[in-house]
Amino acid sequence: MLIRTGRDGFQHPVTSEITPRAVYEDRRRLMKWMATGAAGAALAGWAQREALAQQVQRPGKLAALQAVRSGVAGATTMEKVTDYKDATSYNNFYEFGTDKDDPAKNAHTLKPSPWTVEIEGLVKKPGRYALEDLLKWSAQEERVYRLRCVEGWSMVIPWVGYSFSNVARRVEPLGNAKFVEFITQADPKTMPFVGSRVLDWPYVEGLRMDEAMNPLTLLTFGMYGEVLPNQNGAPVRIVVPWKYGFKSGKSLVKIRFSEQMPKTAWNKAAANEYGFYSNVNPNVDHPRWSQATERRIGEDGLFAKKRKTLVFNGYEAQVGQLYAGMDLKKNY
Ligand code: MTE
Question: Could you tell me the pLDDT band of residue 4, with boundaries at 50, 70 and 90?
Answer: very low
- Domain ranges (residues) in the chain: 21-323
Cβ–ligand 1 distance for 67 under 6 Å, the answer: no
Question: Could you tell me the pLDDT band of residue 11, with boundaries at 50, 70 and 90?
Answer: very low
Look at residues 312, 258, 246, 306 and name the one whose alpha carbon lies nearest to residue 282: 312
Distance 134 CA to ligand 1 centre (A): 21
Res 309 pLDDT > 50: yes
**Residue identifier of the C-alpha nearest atom 5 of ligand 1:** 93
**What is the CATH T-level fold of the domain 21-323, as seen in this structure?**
Sulfite Oxidase; Chain A, domain 2 (3.90.420)
Counting from 1 in the atom list of ligand 1, the atom nearest the Cα of 87 is: 24
- As a whole number, mean pLDDT of residues 99-108 equals 98
- As a whole number, mean pLDDT of residues 305-318 equals 97
Angle at 289 between CA 287 and CA 294, to 5 degrees: 135
Strands 153-163 and 218-223 turn out to be antiparallel
Tens of pLDDT along 314-325? 999 999 999 999
Cβ–ligand 1 distance for 220 under 6 Å, the answer: no
Distance 278 CA to ligand 1 centre (A): 14
The pLDDT value recorded for residue 33 is 59
Write down the mean pLDDT value for the chain: 90
Q: Phi, psi at residue 182, to the nearest 5°?
A: -110, 115
The pLDDT value recorded for residue 302 is 76
Least confident of 38-47, 106-115, 244-253, 292-301: 38-47
Tens of pLDDT along 156-182? 999 999 999 999 999 999 999 999 999
**Residue identifier of the C-alpha nearest atom 24 of ligand 1:** 91
Res 146 pLDDT > 70: yes
Ligand 1 pocket, mutate which of 246, 252, 268, 291 (most atoms under 8 A from CB)? 246
Q: Which residues contact residue 259 at a Cβ distance below 8 angstroms, ignoring those fewer than 6 apart?
A: 122, 176, 177, 178, 179
- Cross-strand pairs, 117: 129
Distance 229 CA to ligand 1 centre (A): 13
Rounded Cα–Cα distance for residues 236 and 95 (Å): 16
Cβ–ligand 1 distance for 202 under 6 Å, the answer: no
Cβ–ligand 1 distance for 203 under 6 Å, the answer: yes
Counting from 1 in the atom list of ligand 1, the atom nearest the Cα of 91 is: 22
